[in-house]
Amino acid sequence: MSTKQKIHIFDTSLRDGEQVPGCKLNTKEKIELAIKLEDLGVDVIEAGFPISSPGDFSSVEEISKVIKNATVCGLTRAVKKDIEAAADALKLAKRPRIHTGIGSSDNHIKYKFNSTREQILERAVEAVKYARSFVDDVEFYAEDAGRADIDFLAKLTEAVIAAGATVVNVPDTTGFNLPFQYQEKIEFLVNKVPNIDKAILSCHNHNDLGLATANAIAGAIGGARQIECTINGIGERAGNTSLEEVVMIINKHPELGFYTDVKPELLVPMSHLISDTMRMMVQANKAVVGSNAFAHSSGIHQDGFLKESSTYEIINPKEVGADGFQSIVLTARSGRAALAFRMRGLGHEFTRDEMDNLYAQFLDVADSKKEVNDEDLKELALSFASAKA
């Protein structure tokens, strides 16, 4: 029996991810993506913010009808009419969750709410109780927890759990924390909140300093059991924690003692689907799913990789559903072995002497281009064959 702890994967591509300018999805697109997210194996799908627009309401409603196993979640502010709209949109979901919350840092309390810690705590408790009157599963987010006073955060966490929250989300809304700070925050809550065993803690990290994934993993090490993330790390500003990074870190580091139910071989197809549907390109060097994530270009790396792939690859591209064929990128820095490998892939074999000759021609082409592609290789092979004849 596995002693590993499950990390619940909460996908918010359709809510936080969709907040990217120009990436608005219609209901049909959202339904298709939600079905694929369920196939991928995520535990929770945050389908939208029902009060925000009729389109978002209907997306949450329609997704609730088609999703069979995953929890479907709707976001709200700590406002009665938001909670009523979410409950209404989720009424046909098999496993509905209302995600309600309010700012928890002094910055948000003062500038966003012109309020006090006491009033915020009261509103939080009221919102959770109200949400619990509609559904059994209520997640509370303490917005900007990353910059909140830790004693107040602990008091708030205790109060919302007592009010019925099943999950407490600790968002680093501005992506400000360092991994050790975020881990300490979670550890503090785990150790100091008396009723913490009645709920699970959730990591929600933004990528403003490029630390979203590192912070989420640090939070899990600190005791959180849910990670909120998006495909390709899409989201507000610099984005959210990347789902694919979280899953592969957990898979590649069994010493963490975690597992997820995500099927890794579907990660790259899911990344393409999100990128195409949202019309948002994935940067080439993006970890796990970028087009260069498994591309080896320098001669030294190509030589090592062709002898034994583990010299320069910790993930086999097939594990994440990527086609490994283009793993050797041909440039003027590539060697003979790399050229022979790609030629073999196109059905052309050469003797050692022929390869010496061909390699000289290849370098002429490579010097005039950034990358030598299949078409160039086919032409090279053809002119080589006709010169021989």
Contacts with ligand KIV, residue ranges (CB under 6 A): 16, 141, 143, 169, 171, 173, 204, 206
Helix 336-345 with 299-307: angle, nearest 10 deg: 60
In whole angstroms, how close is the CB of 226 to ligand KIV at the nearest point? 12
In whole angstroms, how close is the CB of 236 to Zn ion at the nearest point? 6
**What is the per-residue binding string for Zn ion in 75-94, x denoting contact by CB under 5 A?**
--------------------
Question: Under a CB-based contact definition with an 8 Å cutoff, are residues 168 and 203 in contact?
Answer: no
143 binds, among ligand KIV, Zn ion, none (CB under 5 to 8 A by kind): ligand KIV
> Between residues 141 and 258, which has the closer beta carbon with respect to ligand KIV?
141
State phi, psi for 44 to the nearest 5 degrees.
-130, 135
In whole angstroms, how close is the CB of 143 to ligand KIV at the nearest point? 4
Please, which residues bridge with residue 103 across strands?
143
Closest CA to 233 of 182, 193, 290: 290
Residues 6+ apart with CB under 8 A from 104: 120, 142, 143, 144, 145, 148, 152, 153, 156
Tell me the window of 9-17, 144-152, 156-164, 249-257 that interacts with Zn ion (CB under 5 A): 9-17
> Between residues 43 and 46, which has the closer beta carbon with respect to Zn ion?
46
Any contact of residue 143 with Zn ion (CB under 5 A)?
A: no
> Between residues 20 and 66, which has the closer beta carbon with respect to Zn ion?
20
State phi, psi for 289 to the nearest 5 degrees.
-120, -5
In whole angstroms, how close is the CB of 361 to ligand KIV at the nearest point? 55
- Residue 94: which region, alpha, beta or left (left: phi > 0; alpha: psi -120 to 50)? alpha
Question: Under a CB-based contact definition with an 8 Å cutoff, are residues 17 and 230 in contact?
Answer: yes
**DSSP per-residue codes, 312-336:** T-SS-GGGGT--GGGGB-B-TT--H
> Between residues 16 and 137, which has the closer beta carbon with respect to Zn ion?
16
In whole angstroms, how close is the CB of 256 to ligand KIV at the nearest point? 24
> Between residues 228 and 245, which has the closer beta carbon with respect to ligand KIV?
228
244 binds, among Zn ion, ligand KIV, none (CB under 5 to 8 A by kind): none
Q: Which helix (H) or strand (E) holds 220?
A: helix 212-222
Question: Under a CB-based contact definition with an 8 Å cutoff, are residues 262 and 247 in contact?
Answer: yes
Closest CA to 51 of 15, 76, 24, 26: 76
3-state secondary structure of 170: strand
> Between residues 156 and 366, which has the closer beta carbon with respect to ligand KIV?
156
In whole angstroms, how close is the CB of 349 to ligand KIV at the nearest point? 55
Tell me the window of 15-23, 258-266, 292-300, 322-330 that interacts with Zn ion (CB under 5 A): 15-23
Determine the residue with CB nearest Zn ion: 16
| Interface residue with Zn ion, options 16, 18, 46, 143 (CB under 5 A) | 16
d(CA 166, CA 169): 10
Any contact of residue 18 with Zn ion (CB under 5 A)?
A: no
In whole angstroms, how close is the CB of 252 to ligand KIV at the nearest point? 27
In whole angstroms, how close is the CB of 117 to ligand KIV at the nearest point? 18
100 binds, among ligand KIV, Zn ion, none (CB under 5 to 8 A by kind): none
Residue 242 is given by DSSP the state: B
> Between residues 204 and 296, which has the closer beta carbon with respect to ligand KIV?
204
In whole angstroms, how close is the CB of 127 to Zn ion at the nearest point? 18
Burial 160-177 (b: 16+ CB within 10 A, else e): bbebbbbbbbbbbbbbbb
Give the dihedral sign, CA 40/274/144/123. Answer: negative
61 binds, among Zn ion, ligand KIV, none (CB under 5 to 8 A by kind): none
152 binds, among ligand KIV, Zn ion, none (CB under 5 to 8 A by kind): none
In whole angstroms, how close is the CB of 11 to ligand KIV at the nearest point? 13
Identity of residue 257: G
> Between residues 11 and 16, which has the closer beta carbon with respect to Zn ion?
16
State phi, psi for 141 to the nearest 5 degrees.
-105, 130
> Between residues 217 and 377, which has the closer beta carbon with respect to ligand KIV?
217
> Between residues 19 and 331, which has the closer beta carbon with respect to ligand KIV?
19
The strand ranges marked E within 167-325 are 167-172, 200-205, 226-229, 258-259
Provide the binding-site residues for Zn ion, judged by CB under 5 A.
16
